[in-house]
């Protein structure tokens, strides 16, 4: 048995035989042409043929993966008319008197390289679309097309990478799973795999390609990202059990998609999702979350070598808001320090970092960083329903300073005639005992509270959350914590504000009933927990 480790883009397990994806990729021939207009006509005819093929693929995708996901093929159809692309091809044909196939191939390499070098990971992933559409044009010019030999039985499709059109063209009834050596989780192929609910692994590496052959037995674990080639009996048994349990669980939970989060006696709550980056949006949509209750924006800072610019942040926030299509999105401002450090901040070593210079303290001391983020957030607010949330609050004066900075940013944007949402909500995290205790004073100042039970627990019980030896002292159900949560809920409601929980305790199903009884309005959990919490909420009767 050999194990390859990649990244699972769709959590499910499949076992079966390998089928190595074959495509006709004969080297593109280069030859000199005599008649430029005839060659350009050939190119135009190939475009028409490609358009016809893409129309058919779009219809298939529409049926199999729905309108939103099928729209990538509409984009491919539009790309056929992209002026820059077409001009480049025509230019190479007419200036260098070279055949159309070669002109498309050169243009493909140039455009794909340009996209691959872009900062934005979404744009980088578009290089695959350029290659896909160009290869289609080249095969239309050679009246030849990519193909997979007729597959016998259901198989695990293994490839270097798969283009979106290749993914959707495969007969879904015959595909058990996808496994690729390269690829990104932001690619449309990954998105399609998730939507088609087919176990899929990407990034298994070059060695994987060399090791597999048609007919090999394999198991794909989309949860752990593992590919087991020629699995031994014990692995097979273990994964069969895991698969059966997963199928059973999913079938039960799937029935809850689109259903309300309402108790048997009629109390409704919101169940939102926590994310750390744009890459997790797919899971949020798949999990059927009603919104995003916590976007930990610091990951945008942690994945870089230098401060993200206003533009880079704006693009990321806008993408989240647009993807959530009008559902509430709560983005938390920078919560750096303690366990989350980036060298370029130049933070000094501290004896007790969790009690140190972190989160809002840094933002208020270094307003240039904070203002850049607030501007990006307010600009993005024009694209959806944004709530901005501030971490590690301990006092009224901190909140007043934040609000005055927000006013300043809004005034600046207004003066520059830049659009933003006047009604974007402003809230704070209740994650220090101080904030919970004075929540009566804080509540009139803001639109909402979100309780961060991870930090609230560490500060209330004096248990460093990073220290594994303190497990036994860290009782998350401690009466002190539950009382602080109840106190916070009461004070929020006294002033007509909503209150949520976004710490890990929100997904502790043994407390769901108690939280709802306390008056919690929203629970924000990891995307794969949304349906599990919904399941519990719908089984509760608070009057009993
Ligand atoms: C919390 O403290 O509960 C919280 C949600 O924030 P983080 O875990 O990011 O500190
Ligand atoms: Mg916290």
Q: What is the pLDDT of residues 47-90, one digit of tens each?
A: 999 998 888 888 877 776 667 677 888 888 888 999 999 999 99
- Tell me the pLDDT band of 147, cut-offs 50, 70 and 90: very low
Choice between 186 and 101, residue whose per-residue pLDDT is larger: 101
Same domain, 67 and 200: no
pLDDT tens per residue across span 30-43? 899 999 999 999 99
Q: How far is the CA of 453 from the centre of ligand 2 (A)?
A: 7
Distance CA 462, CA 200 (A): 43
Q: What is the CATH number of the domain that holds 10?
A: 3.50.30.10
Residue 509 confidence (pLDDT): 95
Residue 67 confidence (pLDDT): 72
Same domain, 177 and 304: no
Sheet strand arrangement including 217-221: 2-5, 226-229, 217-221, 13-20, 155-159, 175-180, 200-202, 7-10
Question: Which of 181, 200, 234 represents a domain boundary (last residue)?
Answer: 234
- Average pLDDT (123-146) is 79
Q: How far is the CA of 516 from the centre of ligand 2 (A)?
A: 22
- Residue 158 · residue 182 · CB < 8 Å: no
- Average pLDDT (146-161) is 71
Burial 87-106 (b: 16+ CB within 10 A, else e): ebbbebbeeeebbbbbbbbb
Residue nearest atom 9 in ligand 1 by C-alpha distance: 296
| E strand map for 164-318 | 175-180, 200-202, 217-221, 226-229, 270-275, 292-296
Same domain, 156 and 84: no
Same domain, 137 and 153: no
Ligand 1 pocket: which of 429, 457, 463, 464 to mutate (most atoms within 8 A of CB) = 429
Most confident of 60-69, 166-175, 252-261, 445-454: 445-454
Question: Which of 104, 125, 141 represents a domain boundary (last residue)?
Answer: 141
Distance CA 544, CA 540 (A): 9
The domain of 132 spans 36-141
Residue ranges lining ligand 1, Cβ < 6 Å:
294, 296, 335, 431, 452-455, 502-503
Same domain, 62 and 162: no
Helix (H, G, I), strand (E, B) or coil at 158: strand
Question: Which of 141, 174, 199 represents a domain boundary (last residue)?
Answer: 141
Ligand 1 pocket: which of 455, 476, 524 to mutate (most atoms within 8 A of CB) = 455
Residue 145 has pLDDT above 80, yes or no: no
**Domain total of the chain:** 3
Residue 436 in any domain: the answer is no
CA 324 to the chain's CA centroid: 11
- Residue 330 · residue 292 · CB < 8 Å: yes
Residue 278 in any domain: the answer is yes
Q: How far is the CA of 333 from the centre of ligand 2 (A)?
A: 11
Same domain, 75 and 201: no
Q: How far is the CA of 378 from the centre of ligand 2 (A)?
A: 23
- Average pLDDT (521-537) is 93
Helix (H) or strand (E) holding 17, with range, is strand 13-20
Show contacts of 353-357: CB within 8 Å, 24+ apart.
354/455, 354/458, 354/464, 354/465, 354/466
Residue 291 has pLDDT above 50, yes or no: yes
- Tell me the pLDDT band of 27, cut-offs 50, 70 and 90: confident
Token digits of residue 508: 């502790």
Burial 283-315 (b: 16+ CB within 10 A, else e): bbbbbbbbbbbbbbbbbbbeeeeebbebebbbb
Same domain, 154 and 135: no
- Residue 397 · residue 370 · CB < 8 Å: no
Residue 502 is among the residues annotated as catalytic for this protein? yes
Q: Locate tokens 């450090």: which residue? A: 341
Residue 146 confidence (pLDDT): 44
Same domain, 230 and 267: no
% of the chain surpassing 70 pLDDT: 94
Distance CA 74, CA 327 (A): 25
Helix (H, G, I), strand (E, B) or coil at 298: helix
% of the chain surpassing 90 pLDDT: 62
Identify the weakest region by mean pLDDT among 242-246, 330-334, 387-391: 242-246
Residue nearest atom 6 in ligand 1 by C-alpha distance: 452
Same domain, 410 and 265: yes
Residue 254 is among the residues annotated as catalytic for this protein? no
Nearest ligand atom owner, CA of 505: 1
Q: How far is the CA of 275 from the centre of ligand 1 (A)?
A: 11
Ordered DSSP codes for 127-146: HHHHHHHHHHHHHHHTT---
- Tell me the pLDDT band of 170, cut-offs 50, 70 and 90: confident
- Residue 232 · residue 250 · CB < 8 Å: no
Identify the weakest region by mean pLDDT among 10-19, 217-226, 277-286, 320-329: 277-286
Active-site entry in 76, 140, 158, 188: 188
Q: List the one residue out of 196, 224, 160 whose CA is nearest residue 6.
A: 224
Distance CA 175, CA 157 (A): 7
- Average pLDDT (298-323) is 92
| E strand map for 215-359 | 217-221, 226-229, 270-275, 292-296, 328-332
């Amino acid at each position: 048995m050999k194990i390859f480790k990649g990244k699972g883009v769709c959590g499910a397990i499949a076992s079966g035989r390998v089928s190595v994806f074959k495509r006709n990729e004969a080297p593109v021939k280069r030859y000199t042409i005599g008649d430029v207009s005839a060659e350009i006509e050939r190119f135009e005819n190939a475009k028409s043929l490609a358009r016809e093929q893409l129309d058919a693929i779009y219809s298939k995708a529409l049926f199999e993966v729905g309108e939103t996901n099928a729209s990538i093929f509409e984009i491919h159809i539009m790309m056929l008319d992209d002026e820059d692309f077409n001009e480049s091809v025509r230019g190479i044909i007419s200036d260098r008197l070279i055949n159309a196939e070669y002109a498309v191939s050169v243009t493909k390499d140039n455009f794909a390289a340009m996209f691959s070098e872009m900062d934005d990971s979404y744009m980088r992933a578009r290089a695959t679309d350029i290659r896909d559409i160009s290869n289609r044009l080249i095969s239309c010019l050679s009246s030849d097309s990519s193909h997979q030999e007729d597959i016998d039985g259901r198989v695990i499709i293994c490839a270097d990478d798969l283009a979106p059109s290749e993914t959707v063209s495969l007969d879904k009834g015959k595909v058990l799973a996808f496994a690729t050596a390269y690829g990104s989780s932001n690619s449309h192929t990954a998105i399609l795999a998730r939507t088609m609910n087919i176990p899929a692994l990407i990034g298994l590496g070059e060695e994987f390609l060399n090791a597999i052959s048609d007919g090999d037995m394999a198991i794909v674990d989309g949860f752990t990202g593992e590919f087991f080639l020629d699995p031994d009996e014990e692995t097979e048994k273990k994964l069969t059990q895991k698969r059966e349990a997963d199928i059973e669980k999913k079938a039960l939970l799937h029935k809850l998609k689109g259903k309300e989060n309402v108790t048997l006696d009629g109390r409704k709550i919101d169940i939102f999702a926590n994310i750390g980056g744009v890459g997790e949006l797919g899971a949020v949509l798949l999990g059927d979350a009603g919104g995003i209750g916590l976007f930990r924006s610091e990951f945008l800072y942690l994945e870089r070598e230098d401060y993200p610019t206003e533009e880079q942040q704006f693009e990321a926030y806008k993408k989240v808001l647009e993807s959530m299509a009008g559902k509430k999105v709560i983005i938390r401002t920078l919560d750096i320090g303690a366990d989350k450090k980036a060298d370029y901040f130049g933070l000094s070593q501290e004896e007790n970092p969790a009690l140190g210079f972190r989160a809002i303290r840094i933002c208020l001391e270094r307003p240039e960083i904070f203002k850049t983020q607030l501007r990006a957030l307010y600009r993005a607010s024009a694209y959806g329903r944004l709530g901005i949330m501030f971490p590690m609050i301990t006092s009224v004066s901190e909140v007043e300073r934040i609000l005055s900075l927000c006013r300043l940013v809004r005034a600046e944007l207004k003066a520059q005639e830049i659009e933003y949402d006047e009604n974007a909500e402003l809230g704070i995290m209740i994650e220090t005992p101080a904030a919970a205790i004075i929540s009566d004073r804080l509540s009139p100042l803001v639109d909402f509270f979100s309780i961060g039970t991870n930090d609230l627990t560490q500060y209330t019980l004096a248990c460093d959350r990073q220290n594994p030896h303190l497990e036994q002292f860290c009782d998350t159900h401690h009466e002190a914590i539950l009382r602080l949560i109840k106190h916070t809920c009461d004070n929020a409601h006294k002033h007509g504000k909503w209150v949520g929980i976004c710490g890990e305790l929100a997904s502790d199903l043994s407390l769901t009933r108690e939280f709802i009884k306390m008056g919690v309005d929203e629970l924000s959990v990891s995307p794969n927990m949304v349906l599990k919490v919904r399941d519990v909420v719908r089984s509760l009767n608070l009057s009993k």
